[in-house]
Amino acid sequence: MKKTLVYSALIALLVSALSLGVYHYAFRLSAPTVRIEHVNGAPARGAGYVLGENGEPVLLDFTRVAESAMQAVVHVKATAVRSNSRARDPFEDFFGSPFDRYFRMPDLQPSVGTGSGVIINSEGYIVTNNHVIANAEDIEVTLYDNRTYKATVIGTDPTTDLALLQIKERNLPTIPFANSDAVRVGEWVLAVGNPFNLTSTVTAGIVSAKARNINILREQFAVESFIQTDAAINPGNSGGALVNLEGGLIGINTAIASTTGAYAGYGFAVPSNIVSKVVEDLLQYGNVQRGVLGVMVRNLDGNLAREKGLDLTQGAYVDSLLENSAAGAAGIKPGDVIISIDEAPVTNSSSLQELIARHRPGDVVKVKVNRKGAVKTFDVRLTTRSGKATIASKDGSSSDVLEVLGVELEPIDKKTAQKLDLDGGLRVKALSEGKIRRNTSMREGFIITHLDGKPVTTVEDFVSALKGRKGGVLLEGVYEDRPGTHYYAFGM
């Protein structure tokens, strides 16, 4: 009986094993075969060709350009120190503040901002945006290979939102300037920068438009004629490179149009031809030498043309002439429509700004206008805003001191002097791009009473004291609407 049970169990086990084997074999016959292959060194190939500036074929391949451009785009970290202190009551020096009994806020708080920059010279010169490094007391630059340097500000130009830095290093990779006039709407471009602190980021897109004015710069004489692109640009891209497929720098990425603060399809870059001129001026003169026509213009469109009875719909309509107008002296009149500068077409006020911004005081430009249907040409010698056709001196050794400082002054009247209990002073009528705005928080309306401790009551005395001056300058004065004495220091 026991043997019968053992035999039965063995037979059952054998049958089960045989059944499983048959099922497994049948499943393998019916199951699909999956093969995974690996290949080594699959090369990237261009998708095709596009035509270059001179009609030559250019390989539509981003890898080569991206690799080259990334080497010359840096990360910029700017640290500013901002005051949290309220206006101080002089009696607190003797009796203390009632707030001190409960809390004491630190007077100074560090503020750190980041952006990008482009190495344009192997000797360490870097272009970035002015808003990236504005008011910074410490600027740190990190290269593509993670080397880190302290940077010095060579000069800034708030009117174009550009700044020039330098680090102490040589033999650096650079991006060469390309002719931004040759850029065409629809051509491929790459944006290189450090968005959201994601270093060495490259995005691709096309040029969407040229000569865009988005009213983002708050300077009185701002120059906005941006290259618009749909290459993704985000916070941190500011100061980075916009390059063409040949690896040339066509713009410095500056702004985005967005309701959220992040990329929404539109990015804007300062054209390289403007960047090149600003850099040359900062290196040669210490500040930007900007020639002006001395005209107030409006974009000409169908509505304005119909209102004025004009038979054209593109150009810059001369609304009025400014005081000491270079254009007016040459014969241009209100009602004229500027249609070209040195044979380059003017389609709107932004393109006019861009073309004039490339010139210095004293330069002669050929201005073509449409005057009631007749085309006339004028040779205009550009001037400074004050009407001078000479370049402001770098060291302030001439009467162009005020141009270098970026300040317009006028003596205060006797009534104001009596009201403020002053012997006299110079009121700041206007501030423009210059040493005072770059290095101090002075605002218009400030009344200068002393320069380095000595009283100043006339513009001539002020200019004479600064002619040929080197080193630090301390201005002392008051505001009519703010209590106390205020001091502003800067270097010549």
**Domain ranges across the chain:** 51-288, 295-381, 401-491
Section 330-347 average pLDDT: 96
Domains 295-381 and 401-491 share a fold: yes
Per-residue pLDDT reduced to its tens digit, 289-311: 989 999 999 999 999 999 999 99
Encoding tokens for residue 204? Answer: 């691709």
Encoding tokens for residue 475? Answer: 């201005």
Q: Which residue has the higher pLDDT, 366 or 7?
A: 366
Of 193, 199, 207, 194, nearest to 244 by C-alpha is 207
Of 229, 231, 150, nearest to 195 by C-alpha is 231
Section 143-171 average pLDDT: 94
Of 87, 161, 86, nearest to 130 by C-alpha is 161
Using the predicted structure, report yes or no on whether residue 31 has a pLDDT greater than 60.
no
pLDDT at 103 (0 to 100):
41
Of 213, 226, 223, 206, nearest to 269 by C-alpha is 226
pLDDT at 166 (0 to 100):
97
Per-residue pLDDT reduced to its tens digit, 74-95: 999 999 865 444 444 443 433 4
Using the predicted structure, report yes or no on whether residue 101 has a pLDDT greater than 50.
no
pLDDT at 91 (0 to 100):
39
Section 28-35 average pLDDT: 57
pLDDT at 111 (0 to 100):
83
Give the CATH number of domain 401-491: 2.30.42.10
- pLDDT bucket at 44, cuts 50 / 70 / 90: low
Using the predicted structure, report yes or no on whether residue 480 has a pLDDT greater than 50.
yes
Task: Please pick, among 238, 349, 393, 432, the residue that the annotation labels catalytic.
Answer: 238
CATH topology for 51-288 is Thrombin, subunit H (2.40.10)
Q: Which residue has the higher pLDDT, 487 or 59?
A: 487
Other C-beta atoms closer than 10 Å to the C-beta of 132 total 24
Per-residue pLDDT reduced to its tens digit, 233-282: 999 999 999 999 999 999 999 999 888 888 888 999 999 999 999 999 99
pLDDT at 227 (0 to 100):
97
Q: Which residue has the higher pLDDT, 102 or 135?
A: 135
pLDDT at 434 (0 to 100):
76
In the annotation, is 131 catalytic?
Answer: yes
Encoding tokens for residue 466? Answer: 């600064």
Tell me which long-range contacts 82-89 makes (C-beta under 8 A, separation of at least 24). 82/108, 82/109, 82/110, 82/111, 83/107, 83/108, 83/109, 84/108, 84/109, 87/482, 87/483, 87/484, 88/484
Tell me which long-range contacts 412-418 makes (C-beta under 8 A, separation of at least 24). 412/447, 416/447, 416/480
Q: State whether the Cα torsion 426-427-432-438 is positive or negative.
A: positive
Encoding tokens for residue 389? Answer: 């056709």
Q: How far apart are CA 351 and CA 23, in angstroms?
A: 80
Q: What is the largest CA-CA distance in the chain?
A: 136
Section 45-53 average pLDDT: 64
Average pLDDT, the chain: 85
In the annotation, is 238 catalytic?
Answer: yes
Q: Which residue has the higher pLDDT, 26 or 158?
A: 158
Q: How far apart are CA 8 and CA 471, in angstroms?
A: 111
Using the predicted structure, report yes or no on whether residue 54 has a pLDDT greater than 90.
no
- pLDDT bucket at 389, cuts 50 / 70 / 90: confident
Which whole-number Å values give the CA distances from 65 to 61, 149, 243, in the listed order? 8, 25, 8
Are 360 and 381 contacting, i.e. CB atoms less than 8 angstroms apart?
no
- pLDDT bucket at 100, cuts 50 / 70 / 90: very low
In the annotation, is 116 catalytic?
Answer: no
Section 311-317 average pLDDT: 94
pLDDT at 477 (0 to 100):
95
Per-residue pLDDT reduced to its tens digit, 341-385: 999 999 999 999 999 999 999 999 999 999 999 999 999 999 988
- pLDDT bucket at 25, cuts 50 / 70 / 90: low
Task: Please pick, among 131, 230, 281, 486, the residue that the annotation labels catalytic.
Answer: 131
Task: Please pick, among 75, 116, 161, 359, the residue that the annotation labels catalytic.
Answer: 161
Per-residue pLDDT reduced to its tens digit, 190-226: 999 999 989 999 999 999 999 999 888 877 678 899 9
Q: Which residue has the higher pLDDT, 399 or 63?
A: 63
Using the predicted structure, report yes or no on whether residue 401 has a pLDDT greater than 50.
yes
Could you give the percent of the chain with pLDDT greater than 70? Answer: 81
Q: Which residue has the higher pLDDT, 288 or 7?
A: 288
pLDDT at 90 (0 to 100):
41
Could you give the percent of the chain with pLDDT greater than 90? Answer: 60
- pLDDT bucket at 420, cuts 50 / 70 / 90: very high
Give the CATH number of domain 295-381: 2.30.42.10
Other C-beta atoms closer than 10 Å to the C-beta of 323 total 9
Rounded to the nearest angstrom, the gap between the alpha carbon of residue 137 and the centroid of all alpha carbons in its chain is 19
